[in-house]
Structure 1
Amino acid sequence: MRWTRAGSLALLALALLAGCGLVSSSGTFHDSSLPDGARPLDGARLVVTSKSFTEGVLLGKITATYLAAAGATVTDLTGAPGSASSRQAQLNGDADILWEYTGTGWVNYHNQTETIADPHELWQRVHDIERRDHDLEWLPPANFNDTYAFAASAPTAQRLQVKSLSEVAALPVADRTFCVDDEFFSRSDGFLPMLAKYGIPYNDPNGVPAGNVTRMDAGVVYPATAKSAPCHFGMVYTTDGRVKNLGLSVLDDDKKFFLPYSGTAVVRGAIIEQYPQLRALLGTIAERLTDPLMRELNGRIDIDGADPADVAYDWLRSENLVE
């Protein structure tokens, strides 16, 4: 199987980006071409970066592989540690393309506190601010939303006959048991405000008594929820591969408390102006990405141990986007 290596170009880019702590996850992705042999990006030189968590790296590898297949010379700097380094690299002009989340842009980058439940409205608001303030183009979002949610094991959800958080709120107090991590527990848009939104306030004998909440590491929440011990309901991320692997049922946030975190490809304004064909190419990727698909692809990496570059390439081939 053939590979593309960023080689000396990647090393040069790494040297340039050392000041903001950006490092490459591996600098590799599969060499491929478009099925029709077209090269709409022939001559383009692009730097693709990503955040360091599984989904971020996967999206970066998909993007690097596909744009290289379209003829671009791509420097793969996926896997930047933390959010700040990849973001700062793009703001500095040292990276061209980065997958972001609308909720992250709204809350973390622009310190907004208003909850906008409509995904398209939130994207438009973030899009307009980012274009005005940073000359970054947030392309139309993909069809997946990696936001907070609560889930239960399938048997527990069926036994308690719950499909939504409002139905959880209607359960007897003894059944309203939750597992959350410390960060989510203390967030201003996290657990306590969510309980208030659904009319079951924390540390209230008629709401959610403190003893009904177990705080634990985020990674432990998933198996605890699958076992329904010590809690019936656990905080999850909607596109996490463990949701599918453990057979968890994600509950509907029917009062729209949680902010949408729609995945969005972000391109520097100068780059999208120079290569407007990126809109269609990245749109081809975005329109295919859904919550169930992201759970499956993330699971192949986190649970099956597959390399993100392999998962990206295999998916692109399965969609007949590369060969």
Structure 2
Amino acid sequence: MADDVEPGSIGRGEPLKGAHLTVTSKSFTESLVMGAIMGIAFQAAGADVLDRTGIQGSIGGREAVLKGDADAMYEYTGTAWITYQGNSEPITDPYRQWEAVRDADLRNGLTWLPPSRLNNTYALAMNRANFKKYGTKTLSDVAVLAKRDPGAVTLCVEGEFANRADGLPGMRRAYGMDVPSGRITQMDTGIIYTQAAKGSCVYGEVFTTDGRITSMDLVVMDDDKKFFPNYNAAPEINTETLKKWPAIAEVLNPITEKLDNTVAQELNAKVDVEGEDPHQVGLDWLKKEGFVK
């Protein structure tokens, strides 16, 4: 990375001067933006930063940090707990979920810094017209509607969500949501948002931090039984790197504290709706918030 940045509210005194740090991320918009934010913050604190953001799939970035090929990334607590650490039952309290992930990964040579309020989990959403028509606000309401008026509920979901234990099968069991398979359509993520916005599907599977929720004026159903895992973003650091450069924590903690679903939707929309570059979006946000100059 070669951004012309200086310390703002973070990185004063350049506590990472002399550090050579490699930052990684996954390849979807939100992860790319957070990878840029992390790398730019390290630069402002004096580090030289190698950009390895955009690794395909969930496991590649984590493996890079585990092996020391990369030093840090923003990862999701739910992904670590279920996918990497092999647990089947999520922990409903987000902070306790993070603590459990942190404690388990310390044995693996990874250190998790404090989590953000950004929770990129699954949800069902509908357009404003259908919201006015059916009035559902929670997933329990959707289950009641499916029983009362079976023809009212259609679902558009991704193939992965349709088959994951923490996706559609588990949601239907948890809520007693009886939706016939003939009223469930599988499609790509981007199409789900447009079909839900048009009303072609009454309910579409969405991610709670996606910028298209706001831009398409979709109404998200509350997960009132707390079925879906918490996917809070938090910095995942190679422990040896953190021992050598403990100032990484003081650089990242104020930034992580500022990240929530509203911020994520705004930044994601700049990329997915307005077509901006993820790195530039991250840089602009850090400057706007006064973290860097």
Distance 2:79 2:8 in 1: 35
Aligned to 1:139: 113
Tell me if structure 1 keeps the 8 A contact 2:158–2:188. yes
| Structure 2 partner of 1:103 | 78
So what's the TM-score if we normalise by structure 2? 0.95
> 1:31–1:65: 8 Å Cα contact kept in structure 2?
no
Higher mean Cα deviation, 33-42 or 145-154? 33-42
1:304 maps to a residue whose letter is E
Q: Aligned equivalents of 2:23 and 2:206: distance in 1? A: 28
One of 88, 93, 117 as aligned partner of 2:92:
117
Aligned counterpart, 1:254? 224
Report 1 or 2 for greater relative contact order, CA contacts < 8 Å, sequence distance ≥ 6.
2
- State the number of aligned residues: 288
The question of whether the paired residues in 1 share the 8 Å contact of 2:78 and 2:90 is answered with no
Match of 1:224 among 185, 195, 204: 195
Paired residue for 1:313, among 276, 283, 290? Answer: 283
Out of 179-188 and 30-39, give the one that drifted further: 30-39
Q: Distance in 2 between matches of 1:76 and 1:300?
A: 21
Structure 1 gaps, min length 5: 6-29, 201-206
For 1:214 and 1:94, locate their aligned partners in 2 and report how far apart those are by CA, in whole Å.
40
Q: Name the counterpart of 1:236.
A: 206
Measure how far apart 1:43 and its partner are.
1.6
Task: Determine the C-alpha separation between the residues in 2 that align with 1:84 and 1:178.
Answer: 29
Residues 211 and 62 from structure 1, CA distance in 2 versus in 1: closer, same or farther, beyond 3 angstroms? Answer: same
TM-score w.r.t. the length of structure 1 is: 0.86
**Residue 174 of structure 1 pairs with residue 125 of structure 2:** no
Q: Displacement, 1:85?
A: 2.1
- Which of 47, 53, 56 is residue 31 of structure 2 equivalent to? 56
In structure 2, the partner of 1:151 is 125
**Superposed CA offset, 1:162-220 (max 9, x none):** 111111112122222211122111112211221111112xxxxxx21222212222221
Q: Summarize deviations over 1:117-167 as a string: whole Å, max 9, x none.
A: 1111111111111001x1100111111001111111122112211111111
For residues 72 and 97 of structure 1, what CA distance do their matches in structure 2 show?
A: 13
- 1:24 — aligned with what? none
Cα contact 1:169–1:176 (8 A) shared by 2: no
Displacement of 1:235: 0.3
1:32: which partner in 2? 5
1:71 CA displacement: 0.8
Question: In structure 1, the residue corresponding to 2:255 is in which secondary structure?
Answer: helix
Where does structure 1 differ by over 3 angstroms across 4 or more consecutive aligned residues? Answer: none
Aligned mates of 1:227, 1:124 — CA distance in 2: 41
Q: State percent identity of aligned pairs.
A: 42
Instruction: Tell me which amino acid in the other structure corresponds to 1:88.
Output: E
Tell me, in whole angstroms, the C-alpha distance in 2 between the residues paired with 1:80 and 1:315.
23
Q: Aligned Cα RMSD in Å?
A: 1.3
Shift of 1:302: 1.4
Amino acid at match of 1:53: F
Larger Rg: 1
Looking at structure 2, the residues matched to 306 and 91 of structure 1 have their Cα atoms a distance apart, in angstroms, of 31
- Residue aligning to 2:261: 291
